[in-house]
Structure 1
């Protein structure tokens, strides 16, 4: 049997739905039973990561995420996944709360970069300024001998993310992502990560000459692999 995966969702809702759709599309099926079983906690009340990390005035999301993790484990999840890059700053709060693994999207991305580029490669990150400030990707990539470059226009990136959360996909958000992606190419990025799940909704808007990978796609692969491991044992 396929093993159920718990999804810490709601950050934002469209990103969680995107993950589910990608999982449906990732698996060849003959009937419903071939799809990956998911337990989804679509918690739109997780405290704002941006308010906590950038504005310094918001509530710590860690305890809420830990509660969600325990709820999913108690419901039968054998592993957890979270389609929000910024929320991985609180990964320890999640893993400390349960005894099932978290399929860590940042680590998955860093492993992919190391396997693709090898030591000395340069990775550009298209993400929220909150992700940059937490050094999530720098820490993981530096440990694998890779360097990191970022978009220099934090205000535009944050405005685009907020606009997508409110209004969905828009030409202005696409223009912001494309301009930032082009700047990363010019800055020497050998590989780019679309590392905000709002940007995942418009990932096709990266620069034409960018070698880009969506971190949500890497998470999808890991979820499928983990769920299918040992599925013939019973």
Structure 2
């Protein structure tokens, strides 16, 4: 059973569940992956904590992790990029494998045999913590992030998505994606789970360069379960 440590934010969690379903090769209900979700909306703001002016979100995330363990999860996914700052601390607390979102992106880049330069649109917390920069550098990739003024616009757009103003956010994010492409990025990671919600239907040349880490994480989860088909077996009454 896939455990989803979600609620960061709630709509991004729903989006991730849909991507799990769409990426699963299934012809009937029983072919799909069992999922249990903890929409832990009580987790304090991750970016605020990383920047040193917010409460520590780890205790709330650990509490959600324990709920998923008790529910029988055999794999765990966290559809929040910034929350992966605590990936190591969470994995140290459980024997259940947590599938890392950046590893899913790395697999996709390797398959595409693309340029080693990746643009990253993300929260201030994800950028400041180096979540993408550090993990991708270990695999030979370089990351390009927006300059300070542009990064402030990315954060404004992310807040707009959380408020349900996706159309307004799309205009901002589309411009920043184009700016990263102009700086030589062959692909651009929408490295906040809110960003794909706004850019899902981006109609521009840069649209083909966008990578959706949420969708790539969903694909990695599906591959993990397909490699262990006994975990997908249902009891039939």
> Paired residue for 2:85?
89
TM-score (norm 1): 0.91
Q: Could you tell me how far apart the structure 2 residues matched to 1:227 and 1:179 are?
A: 37
Match of 2:144 among 149, 154, 175: 149
- 1:203 Cα deviation (Å)? 2.8
Match of 2:39 among 39, 42, 56: 42
- How many residues are matched? 228
1:12-49 superposed Cα distances (whole Å, 9 cap, x missing partner): 00000001111222224333211111010011110111
Q: Which 4+ residue blocks in structure 1 deviate beyond 4 angstroms?
A: none
Gaps of 5+ in 2: none
> Paired residue for 2:118?
123
Q: Could you tell me how far apart the structure 2 residues matched to 1:147 and 1:33 are?
A: 41
Match of 2:213 among 212, 215, 230: 215
- 1:116 Cα deviation (Å)? 2.7
CA change 1:9–1:206 in 2 (3 A) is farther
Q: Could you tell me how far apart the structure 2 residues matched to 1:192 and 1:117 are?
A: 15
> Paired residue for 1:183?
179
Match of 1:14 among 11, 16, 32: 11
> Paired residue for 1:23?
20
Gaps of 5+ in 1: none
Q: Could you tell me how far apart the structure 1 residues matched to 2:186 and 2:47 are?
A: 28
> Paired residue for 1:136?
131
CA change 1:84–1:207 in 2 (3 A) is farther
TM-score (norm 2): 0.90
> Paired residue for 1:200?
196
Match of 2:226 among 213, 225, 228: 228
